[in-house]
Amino acid sequence: MTLSSAQSQILDRMITLVEAAGPIAAQTDKYFTNTASIVAENGDMEVTFAVFMRRRVVAALEPVVRLIKHFAPEAKVKRFVSEGEVVPSEHKLIEITGSLQQLSEIETLILQKTGFPCVAANNAYEMCLAIPAAGFMDMHARHGSGAEMNILAAYGAKVGSEAARATNRAVKGFIGSSQDLTAPFFGSEMGMGTMPHALVGYAGGDVLEAMKLFYKTLPEATSLIALVDYTGQETADALRCARWFYDEEKLDRRGKSFGIRLDTHGGRFAEGLDYEKSVEAVGNWLKVRGEYAIVEQVLGGRTVQLDPNNLLVDKVRRILFGKGVSVASIIHARGALDQAGFKAAMIVGSSGFDPQKCQIMGAAKAPIDMVGTGSFLPATLTETYATADIIAYNGQARVKIGREFLL
């Protein structure tokens, strides 16, 4: 997996951000600094660290490899997996051989830059495989803690997306980012963006007026995506905006594309739906009758009990038929646009599109063209905890009890 010049520069910027935070001794765990000081006083030795994860990941190791080469240029890094490879839990990712004094000082940084992008890559991989026909836009930036985290997460999404394409050539995967900083990871110089709710509010709560302002101010934009949930009239506003785009302005003839983004609040159903109508919509789409049969088909034919104590089934039902951006709401919007003659209009879905939601959307064949999501970020920080153990001192194998599998 090769990096373009622009992509390489983003990862180099990560190193700059680390250096800008101050001396390495101030950023590392104190017991590692203490170890480095003791070794410097009593005699250095060559050691080999083994780095692994406690959960399955997709290898996205370029950030940590670059960090090691920058701060410990004499150290040797041996990779046991290729970039983009699916790696089982407790499988050795890399070995680092070099000065104990030097490597001990940067062990904290090594662990920081290993787990996060690998878990993000695994999540992106699963999401892209689940809905191969949809393009994905990286919208995680506002959920991050700053530029360094943005770089690690977006790099993970890039690697996971490319790994999914390698597995299934039909996968579109991640096609853009919401911020300029990480856009080159997805082959673009600039970030992608439609409109936030703030712009609709600025236009008096009228999404069509917001879209007109968008087009007037940014006429070079190649696509106009209307955010149609602001007033709870997803269908009516989608059709109003489509008529303006196709019938009044005829912007499709000027090479522009139109779409709607569904971001319906999780506390209500999209316009025109309730639970029963949602079950009917999904059933008609899948040509299956009955809530039980629909859930069973989506779960791959597994017999299930529709009871409130079955948490998996309950989540499947909510994604299929529930409030917010459900499979039913996407089917309903697609039907309304098609019936009005706007079959070329795209549907963009956002709101909670994590791996599990994507898997259910994909299994239900939801007619979604693009997913805007930051939910490839690790669900819990504990997922990202990488571990490094020294497995050799001056060439002599030695490791703590319980980690013999690293030898």
- Separation CA 135–CA 172 (nearest Å): 5
- Separation CA 299–CA 291 (nearest Å): 12
Residues 371 and 261 placed together within one structural domain of the fold: yes
Residues 337 and 398 placed together within one structural domain of the fold: no
Residues 206 and 234 placed together within one structural domain of the fold: yes
CB–CB of 156/119 below 8 Å?
A: yes
Question: DSSP code of 179?
Answer: S
Query: C-alpha 319: how far from its chain's center?
Result: 19
CB–CB of 329/264 below 8 Å?
A: yes
- The one-digit pLDDT tens for each residue of the chain (407 residues) are 789 999 999 999 999 999 999 999 999 999 999 999 999 999 999 999 999 999 999 999 999 999 999 999 999 999 999 999 999 999 999 999 999 999 999 999 999 999 999 999 999 999 999 999 999 999 999 999 999 999 999 999 999 999 999 999 999 999 999 999 999 999 999 999 889 999 999 999 999 999 999 999 999 999 999 999 999 999 999 999 999 999 999 999 999 999 999 999 999 999 999 999 999 999 999 999 999 899 999 988 766 666 666 777 888 999 999 999 999 999 999 999 999 999 999 999 998 999 999 999 999 999 999 999 999 999 999 999 999 999 999 999 999 998 988 88
Residues 402 and 337 placed together within one structural domain of the fold: no
- Separation CA 241–CA 21 (nearest Å): 47
Q: Which residue has the tokens 């360094």?
A: 148
Q: Which domain holds residue 30?
A: 5-119+382-406
- Separation CA 189–CA 180 (nearest Å): 7
- Separation CA 254–CA 221 (nearest Å): 11
Residues 239 and 334 placed together within one structural domain of the fold: yes
Q: Which pLDDT belongs to residue 194?
A: 80
Give the DSSP letter string of 149-177.
Answer: HHHHHHHHHHHHHHHHHHH-TT--EEEEE
- Separation CA 125–CA 119 (nearest Å): 10
| CA angle (63, 64, 67) in 5-degree steps | 90
Q: Which pLDDT belongs to residue 343?
A: 97
* 125 in any annotated domain: no
Q: Which pLDDT belongs to residue 300?
A: 85
Pairing of strands 370-373, 135-138: parallel
Q: Which pLDDT belongs to residue 116?
A: 97
| Other CB atoms within 10 A of residue 295 CB | 25
Residues 306 and 388 placed together within one structural domain of the fold: no
Among the listed residues 212, 74, 185, the one whose alpha carbon sits nearest the alpha carbon of residue 121 = 185
* 173 in any annotated domain: no
Residues 197 and 97 placed together within one structural domain of the fold: no
Pairing of strands 346-350, 92-99: unpaired
> What's 109's domain CATH number?
3.90.1170.20
Cβ contacts of residue 284 below 8 Å, gap of 6+?
none
pTM of the model: 0.94
Residues 397 and 315 placed together within one structural domain of the fold: no
Q: Which pLDDT belongs to residue 309?
A: 67
* 140 in any annotated domain: no
Residues 106 and 226 placed together within one structural domain of the fold: no
Residues 198 and 306 placed together within one structural domain of the fold: yes
* Total structural domains within the chain: 2
Question: DSSP code of 382?
Answer: G
Phi, psi of 214 (to 5 degrees): -60, -50
